[in-house]
Structure 1
């Protein structure tokens, strides 16, 4: 029996490709005008690969303790800054949903809390604001410590990148880093700061990374499974 899947046309795609999200959903990416009637046969040939990757995702979720659910959270575990927030939901007549911090690491969402999309948007805004307050000062501290200056920095919510650095030495930091272990976050920030010197992944770049973080290979390997720390409601 074929798995359920969605199809997305991409103008950049040159051939069909399969993507399985952290939630385990299968997406088929095809070029514009692709003959979709051929997809079931391709999925049948790729069934063993699909089953294997899906099982790996389930195993990683179990090891990390992350539920495979995109439902609204009761807690927010911000490993990067050592905080776990309790999330409460309070229905009010407000036309929108607002996230308000309370004492003792409690976060309350007020408003139309039956609207899951509105609640997720409010939580995303709160996470972005939290990243602005914690990750950017952290980046500046490491920049001074390692003598790797940058021009400017911003918080974003990239789907596939933890961070990026432009030719103008502008660094973008993913707000989802808040959910990762602190040692991985520090490595990502060092990695992007090294791009201010080498805007590539050349041997010279990796030599600079090794100089600034001798344990970079183990940390880089740790990033391969790091997306499983990010709650599914934030990805959906």
Structure 2
């Protein structure tokens, strides 16, 4: 479906129809704005919704761009889920794109295209530790699943298929443990209720008493500039 233009203060809004969508949902990211709509939503309804949301979009987009401008410097250290100490980042000429020194808490990355090297390091780290943690949470709350994949989707922190295969966003390792656990609980709850019904949210609440606050935090999380940079 074609994009919908607002005013000059905003980028084009990418409109995507989703078979499982029940409501219109906006997602603002530093690289663009996405509107997910139900299959039978009309163009007039979309335009009205965007008009009503325009001021919020302008404020949110402007705030994110300001935060990006303030944080464009390449990091000297990186805090990663599952490790209490940050990894000191060292850029140098080397054969490998990245290499972790687990004992010294150092991350060596190739100095050519350092953003790409850091993205690759985060993805590899996530593939090692997120499945392990999901399995831990699964056993803790008694909700089994089939398999776990770690990817870099643009719009979702996680997903669960009808076969109970769970996908987790690699960027979760850049977040606090409470947010990672909240996403794991959410997706594991889908193995029991494959919808967002009252029964589903009741299941989530059983295992995450602060799930409403965690949902709010996840919606407001701003990933660092280098994570979004296209290589």
TM interval, short-chain normalised = 0.7 to 0.9
* Alignment RMSD (CA, Å): 3.4
Question: 2:225: which partner in 1?
Answer: 232
- Where structure 2 has 5 or more consecutive residues not aligned to the other structure, the ranges are 1-6, 19-24, 36-52
Question: 2:87: which partner in 1?
Answer: 85
Residues 13 and 32 in structure 2, CA contact (< 8 A), matched pair in contact too: no
Question: 2:4: which partner in 1?
Answer: none
What is the number of equivalent residue pairs in this alignment?
201
TM norm structure 1: 0.71
- Whether 2:71 is the aligned partner of 1:68: answer yes
Question: 1:197: which partner in 2?
Answer: 192
Residues 153 and 171 in structure 1, CA contact (< 8 A), matched pair in contact too: yes
TM norm structure 2: 0.72
- Whether 2:55 is the aligned partner of 1:52: answer no
- Where structure 1 has 5 or more consecutive residues not aligned to the other structure, the ranges are 30-45
SS of corresponding position for 1:78: coil
Q: Matches of residues 10-29 of structure 1 in structure 2 within 5 Å?
A: 20-21=28-29, 23=30
Higher alpha-carbon deviation: 167-176 or 215-224: 215-224
Highest Rg: 1 or 2?
1
Bigger RCO (CA 8 Å, 6+ sep): 1
Higher alpha-carbon deviation: 153-162 or 124-133: 124-133
Residues 90 and 106 in structure 2, CA contact (< 8 A), matched pair in contact too: yes
Residues 162 and 188 in structure 1, CA contact (< 8 A), matched pair in contact too: yes
